[in-house]
Amino acid sequence: MSITLENQQLVNTYRKRAKHYDWLSRLYYLIGFRYTGYRKNAVKALGLNQGDTVVEIGCGTGANLPLLQEAVGPTGKIIGVDLTDAMLEPARQRVAQAGWKNVQLIQCDAENYAFPEGIDGIISTYALTLSNDYEKVIASGAQALKTGKRWVLLDFRAPTAWPRCLVRLGLLLMRPFGSRMHMVDRHPWEVFPKYLEKVTMRNFYLGIVYIISGEAKPK
């Protein structure tokens, strides 16, 4: 698998953070950030049913797997995609310890992942903004979804009213997770209406966090 310089830098970052990723993420609770609560809202927004197939882009250590398991049940299927081998290892351990037989974990960059046709949902949490070609990922996913099924994105953004200096300060808090200043100009939420319909968006945490969902258009 060929890899861009930016993706290689992300791999290096997450290889260093993988063992402590879940612990570090929960430190955000100290500043009022509802780490698990936002994830629950995002999974709920998928509107999944028992037996459905869902793809997670940037599954990381598998923090969403228990929530997705509850949504699709043992007859459903979960496909987790992540760029970094070190992040997928804890996810594999979660799967093994829980005894889940319906989870497939794939190491691949999001831009080159080939979505299976006829899936029932796609979700990405705190990951898609790390992708330089996020529009390609959104478009490919929308094409693979069954009509009426949902693409859901939970991610960070810089509120438009914030001065650049305050944005830089906020990025310092997220730097351990690969966020960089040039990513502030990536706006995946603006792309959703181009490829999906019935798009809805909710903002949280002073507008820094958002959940956007859209339904696949008729093919």
Residue 74 CB-density burial (10 A; 0-12 exposed, 13-18 middle, 19+ buried): exposed
- Taken as a whole, the chain contains a residue count of 219
Q: Treating both helix axes as pointing N-terminal to C-terminal, what angle do 85-98 and 5-17 enclose, rounded to 10 degrees?
A: 50
pLDDT for position 37:
87
| Confidence at residue 158, expressed as pLDDT on a 0 to 100 scale | 73
- Domain span at residue 127? 5-216
The Cα 180–Cα 101 span in angstroms is: 37
d(CA 157, CA 167): 9
Instruction: Say which residue, 120 or 208, is predicted with more confidence.
Output: 120
Lowest mean pLDDT among 105-114, 145-154, 168-177, 204-213: 168-177
Task: Report the relative pairing of strands 103-107 and 77-82 from DSSP bridges.
Answer: parallel
CATH number of the domain encompassing residue 184: 3.40.50.150
What pLDDT shows up at residue 29?
45
In percent, the amount of the chain with pLDDT more than 90 equals: 60
Bridge-based pairing state of the strands 145-156 and 119-125: parallel
With beta carbons less than 8 A apart as the criterion, state whether 187 and 134 touch.
no
Mean pLDDT of the chain: 83
Structurally, how many domains does the chain consist of? 1
What pTM value is reported for the model? 0.80
In this predicted structure, the answer to whether residue 181 has a pLDDT above a threshold of 50 is no
pLDDT band at 185 (very low <50, low <70, confident <90, very high): confident
Q: Are 83 and 59 in contact (CB under 8 A)?
A: no
Mean pLDDT of 212-217: 98
Of the pLDDT bands very low, low, confident and very high (cuts 50, 70, 90), residue 171 is: low
CA-to-CA distance for 160 and 162, rounded, in angstroms?
Answer: 6
Could you read off the pLDDT of 19-56 as tens digits, one per residue? 555 555 555 543 445 667 889 999 999 999 999 999 99
